[in-house]
């Protein structure tokens, strides 16, 4: 694929310059506006000495300039680095030191996250603050297109992993890999008439990847600064939103917004979710209230986003194929997927748990300045080891279990927490659950369930243990249950089990 984000934007601006491209707050940019503004900022970056391959870092909650800078960097071949505003200043400093950007663009309310040490990073020419300073800097540059088109294999985005398995690593995503976002948009039924509500943070692949899908299809993107369920309902009504993406916990919050049942959500065609299965109890309620189709997406930063989908026809909680809701779906047509026995590195038999391996042009180029980690992740033949445990059924549906590191070994038996969580999630009083291994004097480890109870319900630990014993082998069942108000999650909505283990060791998992 030879398309890049820059060439796609240029084509839309030439063909439909007056069509709405991006709405943020009360301001809407057309494709002509977005093309001109990104050309100005591209020229300003070039005038500041930014060369192809140089890094431009962005530290802000979502705002329109996030998309503008993504296209601007692509128009000069620079690499946009997404900085996670949820991290501590010390963590951000380490990432800036690793990425060595030439320019850092920071939001007005995020300036305090950029330490003096980060500002002193060698090679950093300037820190620009979004608002009046940034606007003046951009306005001083011409709106002339640079005419530059980066190569397909050039790095476009440098996104740092969440650090759930260790220190964050910079994932190098290419123009070739990210261009599949437009193909994904078509697969999801997005057209120039689609309207996509985006709330995922732009430093995450769910924001800059999925968030760009409708835009690349020539449609309209409505950007939220951050997740707010009540605001999301209002925006769906106001802009006649057709597509959106939320993690299941946010879907639950949407359904709990007062008056949601009376809201006009008739425009909504498709809600995508990821990071966790939705569960049949939540799905039934969501189908009743939101009245749209659902797709589950599985992917990761290292795959430029979604590589597996569970399609709408597989979301039938009361149908003969209801068990498919435990699956994350099937590999997309341009993605090769294998489940590998980690001991033999051979394909695991149908139904046997192994590690998901992915091969596609969407797979990252590697980890930034980390050849050893790259060699450990990308095998001969271009196969990416995901670290996710799963099995395949005879129809090619993938059933995700866990990260291999989260597996619990109790009395010599392997226990996958996700299997236990699926059983517990079937209880009508359970809103969320996470299962972790804790030390046990006899068995080595034993499962502990940390549960968030649905509002208006009561639940006793022993009753929940008894409930799981009717669904699982006894050795898989939790031996203890703790209750919490919330569970720790990262920006993509994934459970932070390492953080949960730390809190449990400190005796602070209770709500």
DSSP symbols for 346-367: SBPPTT--EEEEEESTTS-SEE
Are 76 and 146 within 8 A, CB to CB?
A: yes
pLDDT, tens only, 297-355: 999 999 999 999 999 999 988 878 888 888 999 999 999 999 999 889 999 999 999 99
Topology (CATH) of 335-405 = Luciferase; domain 3 (2.30.38)
Question: Residue 201's pLDDT is what?
Answer: 92
Distance CA 184, CA 509 (A): 39
Question: Residue 1's pLDDT is what?
Answer: 45
Q: Using 50, 70 and 90 to split pLDDT, how confident is the model at 450?
A: very high
Distance CA 177, CA 167 (A): 24
Q: What are phi and psi of 482, to 5 degrees?
A: -120, 150
Question: Residue 317's pLDDT is what?
Answer: 86
pTM recorded for the entire structure? 0.83
Which tokens belong to 98?
A: 């690793």
Distance CA 478, CA 438 (A): 10
Topology (CATH) of 407-505 = GMP Synthetase; Chain A, domain 3 (3.30.300)
pLDDT, tens only, 266-308: 999 999 998 766 777 788 889 999 999 999 999 999 999 999 9
pLDDT, tens only, 57-82: 999 999 999 999 999 999 999 999 99
Where do the CATH 3.40.50.12780 domains begin and end in the chain?
A: 30-177
Q: What's the mean pLDDT in 102-127?
A: 97
Distance CA 227, CA 204 (A): 14
| Burial class of 32 by CB neighbour count within 10 A (0 to 12, 13 to 18, 19+) | middle
Domain 30-177 has CATH 3.40.50.12780: yes
Distance CA 496, CA 89 (A): 20
Where do the CATH 2.30.38.10 domains begin and end in the chain?
A: 335-405
Q: Using 50, 70 and 90 to split pLDDT, how confident is the model at 168?
A: confident
CB atoms under 10 Å from CB of 466, counted, come to: 11
* Strand duo 126-129 + 103-106: pairing: parallel
Q: Among positive and negative, which fits the CA dihedral 421, 412, 339, 1?
A: positive
Name beta bridge partners: 415: 408
């Amino acid at each position: 694929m030879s398309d890049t984000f820059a060439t796609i934007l240029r084509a839309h601006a030439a063909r439909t310059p007056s069509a709405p491209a991006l709405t943020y707050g009360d301001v809407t940019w057309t494709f002509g506006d977005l093309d001109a503004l990104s050309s100005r900022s591209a020229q300003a970056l070039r005038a500041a000495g930014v060369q192809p391959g140089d890094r431009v870092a962005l530290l802000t909650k979502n705002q329109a300039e996030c998309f503008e800078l993504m296209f601007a960097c692509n128009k000069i071949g620079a690499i946009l680095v997404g900085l996670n505003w949820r991290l501590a200043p010390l963590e951000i400093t380490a990432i800036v030191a690793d990425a060595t950007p030439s320019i850092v663009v920071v939001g007005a309310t995020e300036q305090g996250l950029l330490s003096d040490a980060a500002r002193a990073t060698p090679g950093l020419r300037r820190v620009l603050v979004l608002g009046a300073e940034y606007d003046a800097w951009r306005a001083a540059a011409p709106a002339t297109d640079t005419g530059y088109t980066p190569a397909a294999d050039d790095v476009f985005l440098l996104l740092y992993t969440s650090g759930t398995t260790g220190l964050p690593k910079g994932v190098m995503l290419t123009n070739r890999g990210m261009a599949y976002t437009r193909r994904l948009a078509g697969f999801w039924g997005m057209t120039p008439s689609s309207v996509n509500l985006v709330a995922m943070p732009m430093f995450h692949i769910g924001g800059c990847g999925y968030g760009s899908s409708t835009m690349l299809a020539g449609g309209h993107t409505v950007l939220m600064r951050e997740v707010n369920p009540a605001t999301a309902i209002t925006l769906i009504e106001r802009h006649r939103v057709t597509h959106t993406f939320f993690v299941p916990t946010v879907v639950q919050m949407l359904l709990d917004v007062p008056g949601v049942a009376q809201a006009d959500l008739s425009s909504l065609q498709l809600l995508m979710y990821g990071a966790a299965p939705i569960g049949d109890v939540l799905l039934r309620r969501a189908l009743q209230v939101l009245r749209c189709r659902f797709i589950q997406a599985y992917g990761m930063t290292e795959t430029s986003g979604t590589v597996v989908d569970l399609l709408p026809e597989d979301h039938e909680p009361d149908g003969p194929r209801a068990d498919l809701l435990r699956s994350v779906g099937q590999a997309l047509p341009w993605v090769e997927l294998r489940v590998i026995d980690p001991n033999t590195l051979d394909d695991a038999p149908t139904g046997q748990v192994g590690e998901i391996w992915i091969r596609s042009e969407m797979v990252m180029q590697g980890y930034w300045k980390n050849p050893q980690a790259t060699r450990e992740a990308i095998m001969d033949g271009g196969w990416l080891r995901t670290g996710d445990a799963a099995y395949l059924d005879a129809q090619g549906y993938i059933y995700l279990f866990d990260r291999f590191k989260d597996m619990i070994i109790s009395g010599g038996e392997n226990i996958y927490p996700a299997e236990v969580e699926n059983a517990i999630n079937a209880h009508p009083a359970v809103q969320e659950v996470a299962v972790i291994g804790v030390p046990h004097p006899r068995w080595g480890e034993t499962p502990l369930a940390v549960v968030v109870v649905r509002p208006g319900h009561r639940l006793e630990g022993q009753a929940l243990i008894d409930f799981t014993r009717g669904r699982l082998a006894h050795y898989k069942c939790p031996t203890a249950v703790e209750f919490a108000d919330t569970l720790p999650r990262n920006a993509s909505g994934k459970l932070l089990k390492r953080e949960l283990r730390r809190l449990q060791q400190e005796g602070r998992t209770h709500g």
